[in-house]
Structure 1
Amino acid sequence: MNNPHPVSSYLQTLRQFSRNARLYLAANIIQGLVFSIYMLFFNLFILARGFEKDFLGLLAAIPSFVGLIFAFPAGAISDRIGRRRAMMLGTLFSALPIAGITLLTDKALMGALFVVFGCARTLNMVSGAPFLMENSTPEERTSLFSASFGLSTLVGFFGNLLGGLLPALFALLLRADPESVPAYQGTLWVVVGLSLLTLIPLALIRQEKRIGPISSASSSFGAAVNASLPFKLIGKLLLPNAIISIGAALLIPYMNVFFKEKFPIPDSVLGAMFSVSSVVVGVATLTSPWLAGRLGKIRALVLTQLLSIPFLLTIGFAPWLGVAMTAFWIRAALMNMGNPLYSAFAMEQVDESARARVSSLMGMGWNIGWSVGPYISGLMQVRVGFGPIFVITAGAYLIGSIIPYAFFAKTDPVPCKTET
């Protein structure tokens, strides 16, 4: 019998996803629109308001710092109330602070709102991976994780394209400058509206059965910490995330600022550039199950992340916009396509009852860098510029990419190829 075409096999797997999984993907697609527009213009809105980069860095660091503290309790909450309710609460209380930020100028109140935003985002984050595990079979799991990440990223093409046009549209309606505060305010209100729209598919999800009765393992933070968990394994899973997060947090939130400063370009061009990035990342991510099927999840992850590093440095030091943009797209695809593979691999290593807590801990590892990185980056940009930041990020990516191979290459052997 001939082997099925990879594309046909992948599409067949997508059709077999459960109703809950498909609704989650629908919500994720909307969130992809939200995230792409938010990431494109939130920094520019804060700077247009007249705040300095050091305050922008502090504001950007707050959600991750909160996530570092709240991740484990969030996992316990997700276990107790169920994934659907947790994700709905997370979505609602992610949208409301963004609305408040557009109306406030007091730094203390803005910081308080971002504390709420950080808690809500963390609740969403720690619920996602366990939900996917609970609503998929082992055969479709890698494809579901890849589809979740890939489709939300792919739809970012439309989010960035739409986002790039929104400030000009609101400027026309409000008779303001396209790079003014009112134009960016209107754009962020679109983000709020789309985020609330995500509640519809989430509400349609059938509440999953609890993994088991709520026990001391998840009923309180202190009890959860003392619960039986494979902490040695978890430490190995967390370490690469923590190291990569340090590099990512220094640079990735400010890519829009970097391009605007080094190559003065209008918002429409910036939006188009990020749109293309979303397409290539989305397509690359959807191909990651194919790559994992030939190399294994860990080898595929390590290979693609290492290949991305030269392109990262090219972005930072290329004197031409065209070269920097092309490197930006390639780097994004290579660095991100392995993310769902690592998430799926991590969830497969632990018992079902521990997945929410392990997901919480992995979120804490990722937030280590993001809790301080954006603030440090803001200070570095003012004093030394972006050059050293690119070098530090490349070093962190190199170390964080090698570690999973050292820890897990033998745990995740190369899949056997069989003739059919």
Structure 2
Amino acid sequence: MILIKNHPLFQTLRELKGTPRATVLTEPLFGIPYNLYAPFLSVYMLALGVTDQWIGTIASLGLVFQIISAIISGAITDKFGRRATLFITDLITWSVPCLIWAFAQNTTYFVIAAMINGFFRIAHTAWTCLLVEDAEERHVVHMWTWIMIFAVCSAFFSPLGGWFVQNFGLIPAMRGLLVFGSIMINIKAAVLYAFSKETDRGMQRMKETRNSSIISLLGDYRSVIKQVFRSKPILGALSLMVITNIFSTVNGSFWGVLFTSKLGFDNSQIAIFVMLKSIITTVGFFVIGPRLTNLLHFRLPMWVGFAGYFASQALLVFMPANSVVLLVISVVLEGAAVSLVSPMTESLLAVAMETKERARISAVVYATWILFTSPFGWIAGQLSAVNRTLPFMMNMGLFVIGAVLVWVINIKPKTAQLETEIN
């Protein structure tokens, strides 16, 4: 009990107050219902007559609307405030699509839902600002770690969704889970709105943009874009996020393919190794992360994490078929790497964007991130068609680039600058 009380993550959780605390603690209210229905959404679409081609088209359509919403999100968040924007857009972009999916009858329903859901990037920008703007910088890494922990632990509820599907049938179970998801998102939005307040920076931006229209604010993006692409810390952190998200895209799409083809395992065994990775990642957040993740010395955890990623992908490429031991080692290395790299990249980006223009800079950053990440699903598909290991060799190359970027970029938190001034 004493170890838990003195653990840095639990200490941060106790010290968090007000809006940052509410933003962190309400996250499971979204993550749990999402992980109940999300793994089955594609097969649910197939069961309702949506073709494979339309599933791909709907996914691409959603990506287009994500880019649009990411671009306009900063202006909307500044104009109407982080708190109000998040509350309204959570209801519109998550609760409403859940209901449309729940009562879907054909492809048209999913097209409409994808278009509405694609605007969730507005909610994401507002949520990010609400999370970090009033938080102490020393808490940022641990706050992001808790967000990752909640996300990973929420995935443990996916088998419960499978139980409902198995016992009630795919379509009836999904309709029920999606209605439940809509209700839970409403509750999450209401609780967060009730227990948070507008950030100081949000109040300032609302005052500054009171007499400006959304169109005029979008017109001012030229200076924001220049600020982003002239900022080496932002570009460095963004590059690291692009690399890790390309990996997530490739791994999420082709790990199962490699697992059942080259490695020779059965489909039914996939869930076992996915669960193992989630467990290792969760343990890593509590055991490895607090000892290494530090914004003042960010290079060591990033290098260790990228080395773990590289080794895990190398094992997948070169291991013989049906080698359970080597596959377990690969999964453990990947899980440990996630616990180091994920919270650090998010934190580095948050610190790099420490400016009064956080909302609009976030909008430009996330739009750029989506644009750079999106082609790699197609690229990985072409590589996989030639050889199933090539997407993972591409990942290895990306992690080498990431390690070099970590050496090159220079992000100094305020605490580091303060120490320099004192010394």
Q: Secondary structure at the match of 2:208?
A: coil
Q: Return the structure number with greater relative CO, CA threshold 8 A, min gap 6.
A: 1
- In structure 1, what is the Cα distance between the partners aligned to 2:96 and 2:35? 18
1:316-373 deviation line (CA, Å, top 9, x unaligned): 6753384545533531341353222222222223443122222223322331244344
Aligned to 1:223: 220
What displacement does 1:94 show?
1.8
Look up the match of 1:79.
78
1:198 paired residue number: 188
Verify the 8 A CA contact 1:297 1:341 in the aligned structure 2: yes
Structure 1 residues 42, 245: CA separation in 2 closer, same or farther (over 3 Å shift)?
same
User: When the two structures are superposed, what TM-score results if normalisation uses the length of structure 2?
Assistant: 0.78
Distance 1:394 1:10, change over 3 A: same
Question: One-letter code of the match for 1:311?
Answer: S
In 1, are the aligned partners of 2:277 and 2:334 still within 8 Å (CA)? no
Contact 1:62 1:371 in 2 (8 A): no
Aligned AA (1:278): S
Cα pair 1:308 1:330 within 8 Å, conserved: yes
Given that 1:70 and 1:119 are in contact with CA atoms closer than 8 Å, whether structure 2 keeps it comes out as: yes
Structure 1 118/37 Cα, relative in aligned 2: closer, same or farther at 3 Å? same
- Per the alignment, do residues 189 and 410 of structure 1 end up closer, same or farther by CA in structure 2, a change over 3 Å counting? closer
Does the 8 Å CA contact 2:301/2:340 hold for their aligned counterparts? no
Aligned CA distance change for structure 1 residues 101 and 107 (closer, same or farther; 3 Å): same
Instruction: State whether residues 49 and 107 of structure 2, in contact with CA within 8 Å, keep that contact through their aligned partners in structure 1.
Output: no
Structure 1 segment 253-402 matched on structure 2, within 5 A: 253=253, 255=255, 263-266=265-268, 271=271, 273-286=273-286, 287-293=288-294, 296-315=297-316, 319-320=321-322, 322=324, 323-324=326-327, 327-374=330-377, 383-384=385-386, 386-402=388-404
Aligned-pair CA distance for 1:16: 0.9
Partner residue of 1:119?
119
Q: Which runs of 5+ in 2 are unaligned?
A: none
Q: Which residue of 2 aligns with 1:24?
A: 23
Change in CA separation of 1:358 and 1:306 when aligned onto 2, cut-off 3 Å: farther
Change (3 A) 1:65 1:277: farther
How far apart are 1:17 and its partner, in Å? Answer: 0.3
Please state how far the C-alpha of 1:25 moved relative to its aligned partner. Answer: 1.7
For 1:151, the equivalent position in structure 2 comes to 150
Question: Aligned-residue CA RMSD in angstroms?
Answer: 3.7
Q: Which residue of 2 aligns with 1:132?
A: 131
Match of 1:406 among 380, 405, 408: 408
Are the counterparts in 2 of residues 82 and 207 from structure 1 also a CA contact under 8 Å? no
SS at match of 1:207: coil
Residue 304 (structure 1) shift: 0.4
Name stretches of at least 5 consecutive residues in structure 1 with no aligned partner: 172-179
**What's the counterpart of residue 161 of structure 2?**
163
Cα separation, partners in 2 of 1:119 and 1:251, compared to 1, 3 Å:
same
- Shift in alpha-carbon separation, 1:387–1:95, aligned structure 2, 3 A: farther
Distance 1:395 1:135, change over 3 A: same
Q: Against the structure 1 CA distance between its residues 336 and 240, is the aligned structure 2 distance closer, same or farther, given a 3 Å change threshold?
A: same
When the two structures are superposed, what TM-score results if normalisation uses the length of structure 1? 0.79
Number of aligned residue pairs: 400
Letter of the structure 1 residue corresponding to residue 223 of structure 2: N
Pairing of 1:201-212 with structure 2 (within 5 A): 201-208=191-198, 209=200, 210-212=203-205
Find the counterpart in structure 2 of residue 249 from structure 1: 249
Contact 2:50-2:107 within 8 A present in 1 as well: no
Counterparts in 2 of 1:397 and 1:64: CA distance versus 1, 3 Å:
farther
Letter in 1 for 2:285: T
CA pair 247-330 structure 1, distance change in 2 beyond 3 A: closer
Q: Distance in 1 between matches of 2:222 and 2:283?
A: 39
Once residues 338 and 156 of structure 1 are traced to their aligned partners in structure 2, the CA distance between those partners, rounded to angstroms, is 19
Cα gap change, 1:389/1:189 in structure 2, threshold over 3 Å: closer, same or farther? farther
Report the AA paired with residue 395 of structure 2. T
Q: Aligned partners of 1:373 and 1:104: how far apart in 2?
A: 30
Q: Hey, what's the Cα distance between the residues in 2 that align with 1:296 and 1:21? A: 24
Where 1:352 maps in the other structure, the secondary structure is coil
Q: Relative to structure 2, which stretch is displaced further, 63-72 or 214-223?
A: 214-223
- CA distance 1:259–1:36, change in 2 (3 Å): farther
Deviation per CA, 1:239-284: give whole Å up to 9, x if none: 3333443443233256567657764444xx6555444433332332
Residue 175 of structure 1 is matched in structure 2 by none
Maintained 8 Å contact 1:44/1:257: no
Q: Describe the superposition over 1:278-323 as per-residue Cα deviations: whole angstroms up to 9, x where unpaired.
A: 3332332344243123971243123202321221343467533845
Matches of 1:102 and 1:328 in 2, distance apart? 35
CA deviation after TM superposition for structure 1 residue 105, in Å: 5.8
